[in-house]
Amino acid sequence: MAEPDGTARPALHVAGLRRWFRGAGGDVHVLRGLELGVAAGELVTVAGRSGSGKSSLLALLGGLDAPDAGTVLCDGEPVGPVIPWHRCAVLPQSLGLADELTLAENVALPLRLRPDPRRRDAAAVADRVRGLLAELGIAELADRYPAETSFGQRQRAALARAVAARPRVLLADEPTAHLDVGSVPAVLGLLRRCADEGGAVVVATHDEEVHRIADRRVRLREGRLVES
Ligand SMILES: Nc1ncnc2c1ncn2[C@@H]1O[C@H](COP(=O)(O)OP(=O)(O)OP(=O)(O)O)[C@@H](O)[C@H]1O
């Protein structure tokens, strides 16, 4: 879809975003009228000191939290708590894997929930799940439950789940934070491919290696984003 001036409308469009929290020492104004547009096929990294609001921002972009003011549009539609995985997928710092499902079942979930039944073919789902787990080096853990794996292994499974249905918007919060150096290239490769296949990707990170694969880097400062 295009804007009135003919330019492509960003896949993710954020305007006037405000979020504050009531604290014992007074209100904390985390986001103060933040603006952001991310095009399909673009990977944007968000830097910022600890406590600057990166996780708060990603939670709002993914509909996990609601803003005090402003709008977040994903493919032209407001995001909300029940946004389908193939439209907007989130890898939060808390991961959010379902404890009662194996890693493979967790990764399969967004594929089984796709609205088009032709895209839920069991063999194709199993293939996609196997491929993603192998790519991330956790194929042998497919049948384990999250509690039987390390945090870094769970983090990779949660990334596999987020990208499984090839989301139009992918949001990843510190996706390399708990990984050994050997596991990082596969994660970076997968994030980059998600954008190259047409996704709009936003990654909050302190990791310089992640910033290196970005098309654009922004920094969260005093509640707004500045190019960096
Ligand atoms: N529910 C809440 N109630 C009160 N304050 C909050 C709440 N959630 C976040 N904050 C505050 O909002 C600010 C931004 O937090 P946030 O977790 O978004 O930062 P961050 O940039 O992701 O930090 P880090 O890099 O350490 O993960 C912090 O000062 C935090 O203490």
Ordered structural domains, the chain, with CATH: 43-65+79-227 (3.40.50.300)
Secondary structure E strands in 79-154: 88-91
SS3 3: coil
What span, in angstroms and rounded, lies between the C-alpha atoms of 109 and 166? 13
- Measured by CA distance, the residue closest to atom 27 of ligand 1 is 50
Give 176 Cα–ligand 1 centroid separation in angstroms.
19
CA atoms within 13 A on the CB side of 11: 22
Of 18, 30, 50, 178, the one to substitute when testing ligand 1's pocket (max ligand atoms within 8 A of C-beta) is 30
The two structure tokens encoding residue 130: 């196997």
Q: What is the average pLDDT score of the chain? A: 93
The structure's pTM equals 0.93
Kindly tell me if the per-residue pLDDT of 179 is higher than 70: yes
Nearest ligand 1 atom to the CA of 220 is 21
Residue 166's pLDDT is: 94
Within 6 A (CB) of ligand 1 lie: 21, 23, 28, 30, 48, 50-56
Kindly tell me if the per-residue pLDDT of 82 is higher than 90: no
Of 18, 19, 28, the one to substitute when testing ligand 1's pocket (max ligand atoms within 8 A of C-beta) is 28
Residue 135 CA: distances (Å) to CA of 40, 116, 129, 164, 190: 24, 26, 10, 12, 8
Kindly tell me if the per-residue pLDDT of 106 is higher than 70: yes
State the DSSP string of 113-130: T-S-GGGG-HHHHHHHHH
- Phi then psi dihedrals of residue 114, to 5 deg: -65, 140
Residue 116's pLDDT is: 78
> For 10-21, what is each residue's pLDDT tens digit?
899 999 999 999
Nearest ligand 1 atom to the CA of 206 is 25
Of 22, 29, 46, 56, the one to substitute when testing ligand 1's pocket (max ligand atoms within 8 A of C-beta) is 56
- Measured by CA distance, the residue closest to atom 31 of ligand 1 is 51
The two structure tokens encoding residue 159: 């990334």
Give 52 Cα–ligand 1 centroid separation in angstroms.
7
